[in-house]
Structure 1
């Protein structure tokens, strides 16, 4: 009876243990090492687009005629000078000449100089303003020169329609002279209007001093504050702003290289002056004159100057066509990488982020598009990338995404164009380590899931977001945030099914799923329980395994691209990680279609061309072989799989050898597999692996030898290969650094000598083994080289759990009877 009990003890095969009891850290590591393994792989590589375009060559929008262009021409005449005025609705060609309408200063009524004035004074005012709007719109910057002797229409047209009507109602109905100031005195000397700055095509907006005073007296009756503000603005204009505009014109006329720097300084000086006087935005009544002067400079075609002009125009809150053209102008400059340095030395990025924060897609959709396109280009520069993070670009992007969620159907297409640029920008930002906390704190990852739901048909948007996820899901805090997003797994499966032929999208979604299932048990089960999960994944598997050549024949393997193999690598990794869950693993092991696809991959692919794929397939089979239920398809196909593993064992790849050896370690629990190993001389190769000095390789080899030594005939075959001597050397060399390996070596030796029933070790080998066992069984001697307290505790657990019990049993068997107490 005792001999039977000992025989049963001797013949314990190499079977990984799984206990429902609370495990020590050593037990957890031991299980992970001996059985199920999480698979890792490299993140898909995204090549950099060599040309800066709104939509790259791979974009599905590449053939759409309606998509916004990346290249265009901008000139002065493209801008609308009277930016603060409503458009006439009709765009006329610029005038070839500049007609001049002189108005005599001694006229009783300035309006009499114009033909056929309306009888009603309200109609007079309204009609004149309307005419000016149409002329200025039509002629753009080649507009009428300043009209002498009457008030500039710019002041009479208020940007706010409500305020315009109110001003008109307050005008006296009978006295035109008071409205426009007192009558000008006849004579050769004109009023103070002569002192104003006159620029060709630029209306400075200055008025005669006496006319201005009369107007304020009439309209500002009882409003001293308004009069003081107008006086202050006129003073600022005459003393500072006007001279700056005149100098801008003078320097621009010089058109020398040195003048560009001077013009940039003047633009900055003008902006500072306006800011000091609180006249930025739309608060300056002569704002349109400033804009016209700035627009004239654009034809100088200087990127440096145009950025300064754009910054000032955005500070003046241009809108409509001018806002669009300014954003186009900045976009055009950003298309050249050589101009990146200009953005680093200019606060224009703050202005762009301001546009993104304040403009709405319904009114400024195209301007937002070019604005975000600029940030996409700039975020490819590492130095500017850092600036964007410091300026809260992630937070601004998150707010814009929220606004784009609510766009009306009529603006949905433009919202999609903007999101292509925005997600590409976020993709670049995700490269920087400091961006990860921002993506989490601003809930950008969950917001992007909403974008995927709304734009699931848009391959460009889906691909960009998949790139963001593939980058960030490699980090624990981002992975957790994504895993907590409701229904993200179902959404990913829907996208995989819908866009199954778009390789770059599929491979990144699979990589993200592989990252999510690598660490969390909940993720493995939640993904598996999604409706249609395995159907979707296995259809992808079958599709990419047979791409380009159809179903392969036995004589002609398929010619697959590296990209197709990459999809299969990521897909198999997801399935391998799912196998780890105790409820999912048995179901997958019983899935005949799945197992058949794995074996087909092993049969059709070569290690030379598809090394990583075959390694992942072998690792998946190893995980599945842990489950030994009767329904397991792995169990029923174990001999076929053992035969397919031969190409991996005999390959040049150490990773392939390792995974194949692990598979043999699990499958060799069955006697027919052990017989197959001996018959095909695989045991010779396994013994040779003990010389590798790799702890993982030796551990797997010892597992196979432990199972092979269960059968007495196999012990003789192993002894002929000097397996015992190699095991002793492995224990001596690697044991103190890896007590799990040391314990497995002792288990293999125990089975090899038949628990003492067979004498397969000579005297020298026995003495050498006893010496090592005695030394390593002493705790102080075994752990003396470990100084770190935490590591010492861990190694002690492994030493006590994995090594000491079997070592003591082995020593008791090897020692002479007279030395046994």
Structure 2
């Protein structure tokens, strides 16, 4: 519907524009839908989506969050190389050594007492049970003894090493033993598991140990292999020799590539990382790290199974001590590609968030394949076992999706399906355990924040539908309805998506969606940001889907909750509107609160208006005195000048409810009060308000008392004057009131007195062929006016009767009526729609009027009989 020209005075006739109001003006709607919506007695309401200001600071959680800081990871933290666990680079097959249970105690100068010394546990003696199963070592010894006994030889078994005393301090002897003990206290894992060096005994019964010469020769051999271009180093301490060796053993070709291509870069980076943090050093480190990533990627040396992975990571970790975002991100890309885990993964995700929360760094993430690696990491992390790194990784994406360019790139890289899969995993875990946790909540807050930004891109709507994101969000609402922050994020997503009809159908079909939305209103009545969005969502769901109207109305406590919210925010709005204007501080506060309260009222009243479209529900709401009284209180306390959208939405809702003429209608009981409240809008400069008020009068004027009231206030004269406005919709609503007024015989003379007959004929001539619905209403007025007519020239006027007859004859000729005006373009659908309206709406009443006018010619002689 075209916007009315409020600058046009009702008493002046403006230059006519023949362009029909039902031409296609909005994508996705046909001309027929536009006409039905504009002209039907019951109409849905449109309103703007709630405005969401951009957050000033990028934080992990919103600054307005009501959650305690103890329940969520921090947004600010220090981070450096020391926060990365070196063990995170160990192969997955490595085995960590457990710490020693009993630490050796250093000898003191004074003799220890039993109170000062913790005595070691005495080993349990071997079992004497004859039925005891034979272990591997005992079985081997038994076989050896049996073999020897068969030969009949007497064998002297080697003597075991002398067992140390139970108290190591008492067993210490001066000299070498003390040195050995001191050395072993600070020894490494190999030394702790290795026996001390002993002298060789005789050949018959000696226990031989590896000599220093053996160790020396092995070291020499290793050095010679390294110099020849081949080297094999063992894994990190604590790993199993066989697994670590197999992982890091390089073939001669791999070793040659490592020593000639990778090792020099690592050595350069190690030297540079020890220098000062000037610009040149940072630039060189960035360059060398990027080069390292490139050559390792080309040779497929990245990933969890990468050989010499630990050595590379240790060098990369040192780069994080420099305070440079670009260097941090390049290092993070390398660490991501090497698939770290554990504490290193957590620190890495914190690093990504730290870089991403600075808006100036957004362009750095668009370089190379950093975003791909982040998405891949999010896709592989388990939400139960890796909740903290997931929070920071997705938190970095939340920051980045606030940038219009980056969010477009992330959409193209299919981030949304990854988040949909994560949502499904979380919901599946919740359904299995039934225990929502704080860690899961923290992840969901980040995921929904990213989805909120992705929902801004219209191309993503298909992915939201195909990956069942809407259903997953409805499931989350069912579990976490008490969490205001999470519900606010979801409401922001749904408020965007429910602008699409298909999305509305999906949400409406979910079994718990309406129950969850009503529960949110019930649990968070004071959160205006959340309430306004939930009401907006409900308004979208009920705008075009009658099933949704039934579902919402039949949801337990739905109407009570809506009316309770209505009453609460109306009271808040009226309270703050009474603040004295001289109090400037209070005035600013009032303005903010007042705006929020009115925004909630606008969205909530829209829900009521949309529900009332359904005939069963509308009649019940019209009988609800609480609802009607709240609507009238809005009209009484607000003016259309200051609160135009609120007042106009309220009038449209009253118009919808006034359509129902049930016995218990609260509208019917208060119709005079409504008429008095709306009367002032007819003399207001706001054309929209005047049109909507006239629509209500079109329904209310069906009763005699309202017609008397309108006549006493000279509204009938005003309606005749509005026929001259030239605005199609103003003329339409004026005709609606005049149809009812002309049912009273005593009011009919006014139409002719105010030149209304001629004005109606002009309306028929100007708008007839482009608006058969309006043309039909003109004929209805004239039919009511001429109900008891005996002489048409006398009743209508001679010139008027002749002009009306000519017009009706032409308009009832289908060929003439369906001729498309020169300045109008109609598609086939519009032409068919116009033909249908012409046949069903116009022709019946026009034929009746023409027959009456021609049959009441009086003394005039027809032309064909004049001769």
Alignment TM-score, normalising by the size of structure 1: 0.80
Match of 1:768 in 2: 803
Q: CA offset at residue 115 of structure 1?
A: 6.1
Residue 44 and residue 89 in structure 1: after superposition, are their counterparts in 2 closer, same or farther (change >3 A)?
A: farther
User: Among 416, 423, 430, which residue is 1:394 paired with?
Assistant: 416
Higher relative contact order, chain-length normalized (CA < 8 Å, sep 6+): 2
User: Among 45, 49, 60, which residue is 2:55 paired with?
Assistant: 49
Give distance in 2, aligned partners of 1:548 and 1:712: 46
| Aligned: 1:583 with 2:586 | no
Match of 2:223 in 1: 191
Match of 2:551 in 1: 526
| Aligned: 1:383 with 2:383 | no
| Aligned: 1:427 with 2:452 | yes
Stretches of structure 1 lacking an aligned partner (at least 5 in a row)? 1-24, 91-111, 129-171, 197-205, 213-217
Alignment TM-score, normalising by the size of structure 2: 0.76
The answer to whether the 8 A contact 1:83-1:318 is kept is: yes
Match of 1:153 in 2: none
Q: CA offset at residue 324 of structure 1?
A: 1.6
Give distance in 1, aligned partners of 2:476 and 2:250: 48
Residue 180 and residue 642 in structure 1: after superposition, are their counterparts in 2 closer, same or farther (change >3 A)?
A: farther
- The 3-state SS of whatever aligns with 1:60 is coil
Larger displacement relative to structure 2 (719-728 or 328-337) = 719-728
Match of 2:499 in 1: 474
How big is each residue's C-alpha offset from its partner over 1:256-281, in whole Å with a ceiling of 9 and x where there is no partner? 53454443332232223333444322
Give distance in 2, aligned partners of 1:552 and 1:244: 70
How big is each residue's C-alpha offset from its partner over 1:220-269, in whole Å with a ceiling of 9 and x where there is no partner? 89x99989745454333212211111222345547553454443332232
The answer to whether the 8 A contact 2:71-2:438 is kept is: no
Give distance in 1, aligned partners of 2:863 and 2:180: 131
Larger displacement relative to structure 2 (379-388 or 466-475) = 379-388
Q: CA offset at residue 648 of structure 1?
A: 2.3
The answer to whether the 8 A contact 2:248-2:308 is kept is: no
| Aligned: 1:359 with 2:365 | no
Match of 2:168 in 1: none
Give distance in 2, aligned partners of 1:619 and 1:547: 23
Q: CA offset at residue 779 of structure 1?
A: 1.6
Give distance in 1, aligned partners of 2:686 and 2:846: 33
The answer to whether the 8 A contact 1:26-1:798 is kept is: no
Query: 1:482-521 residue pairs with structure 2 within 5 A?
Result: 482-521=507-546
Give distance in 2, aligned partners of 1:229 and 1:681: 101
Query: 1:177-326 residue pairs with structure 2 within 5 A?
Result: 182-184=217-219, 191-192=223-224, 229-252=250-273, 253=275, 255-326=277-348
- How many correspondences in the alignment? 711
Q: What is the root-mean-square deviation of aligned Cα atoms in Å?
A: 3.6
Match of 2:716 in 1: 683
The answer to whether the 8 A contact 2:184-2:191 is kept is: no
The answer to whether the 8 A contact 1:755-1:813 is kept is: no
Residue 318 and residue 582 in structure 1: after superposition, are their counterparts in 2 closer, same or farther (change >3 A)?
A: same
Q: CA offset at residue 318 of structure 1?
A: 1.5
Give distance in 1, aligned partners of 2:657 and 2:245: 88
Give distance in 1, aligned partners of 2:410 and 2:214: 52
Residue 369 and residue 88 in structure 1: after superposition, are their counterparts in 2 closer, same or farther (change >3 A)?
A: farther
Q: CA offset at residue 770 of structure 1?
A: 2.5
The answer to whether the 8 A contact 1:378-1:384 is kept is: yes
Match of 1:154 in 2: none
| Aligned: 1:40 with 2:106 | no
Match of 1:668 in 2: 701
Give distance in 2, aligned partners of 1:651 and 1:47: 34
Q: CA offset at residue 627 of structure 1?
A: 1.2
Q: CA offset at residue 754 of structure 1?
A: 3.4
How big is each residue's C-alpha offset from its partner over 1:66-100, in whole Å with a ceiling of 9 and x where there is no partner? 4322222222333233423588999xxxxxxxxxx
Q: CA offset at residue 176 of structure 1?
A: 7.6
Give distance in 2, aligned partners of 1:715 and 1:527: 46
Query: 1:717-796 residue pairs with structure 2 within 5 A?
Result: 717-754=750-787, 756-757=789-790, 759-785=794-820, 788-796=827-835
Q: CA offset at residue 415 of structure 1?
A: 1.6
Stretches of structure 2 lacking an aligned partner (at least 5 in a row)? 1-30, 100-178, 195-206, 235-239, 582-589
Q: CA offset at residue 29 of structure 1?
A: 5.6
How big is each residue's C-alpha offset from its partner over 1:509-544, in whole Å with a ceiling of 9 and x where there is no partner? 111111111111111111111111111111111111
Give distance in 2, aligned partners of 1:338 and 1:220: 48
Match of 1:11 in 2: none
- The 3-state SS of whatever aligns with 2:59 is coil
Q: CA offset at residue 675 of structure 1?
A: 0.6
How big is each residue's C-alpha offset from its partner over 1:623-669, in whole Å with a ceiling of 9 and x where there is no partner? 11111111111112111111111122222222211111111001101
Match of 1:157 in 2: none
The answer to whether the 8 A contact 1:375-1:425 is kept is: yes
How big is each residue's C-alpha offset from its partner over 1:12-48, in whole Å with a ceiling of 9 and x where there is no partner? xxxxxxxxxxxxx989966972411111111111111
| Aligned: 1:568 with 2:568 | no
Residue 45 and residue 184 in structure 1: after superposition, are their counterparts in 2 closer, same or farther (change >3 A)?
A: closer
Q: CA offset at residue 693 of structure 1?
A: 2.4
Match of 1:137 in 2: none
User: Among 793, 800, 811, which residue is 2:850 paired with?
Assistant: 811
Give distance in 2, aligned partners of 1:32 and 1:486: 33
Residue 258 and residue 806 in structure 1: after superposition, are their counterparts in 2 closer, same or farther (change >3 A)?
A: same
Larger displacement relative to structure 2 (542-551 or 766-775) = 542-551
The answer to whether the 8 A contact 2:573-2:598 is kept is: no
| Aligned: 1:124 with 2:190 | yes
Match of 1:618 in 2: 651
How big is each residue's C-alpha offset from its partner over 1:688-731, in whole Å with a ceiling of 9 and x where there is no partner? 32233232221111010011011122112333322222211211
Rg comparison, structure with higher value? 2
| Aligned: 1:73 with 2:94 | no
Give distance in 2, aligned partners of 1:355 and 1:192: 41
Larger displacement relative to structure 2 (408-417 or 260-269) = 408-417
How big is each residue's C-alpha offset from its partner over 1:360-419, in whole Å with a ceiling of 9 and x where there is no partner? 244332211111111111111122112111222111111212233326789811221221
Q: CA offset at residue 809 of structure 1?
A: 2.1
Give distance in 2, aligned partners of 1:27 and 1:74: 60
The answer to whether the 8 A contact 1:695-1:738 is kept is: no
Residue 615 and residue 181 in structure 1: after superposition, are their counterparts in 2 closer, same or farther (change >3 A)?
A: farther
Match of 2:563 in 1: 538
Give distance in 2, aligned partners of 1:176 and 1:617: 98
User: Among 649, 655, 677, which residue is 2:688 paired with?
Assistant: 655
Match of 1:644 in 2: 677
Match of 1:346 in 2: 368
Q: CA offset at residue 615 of structure 1?
A: 1.1
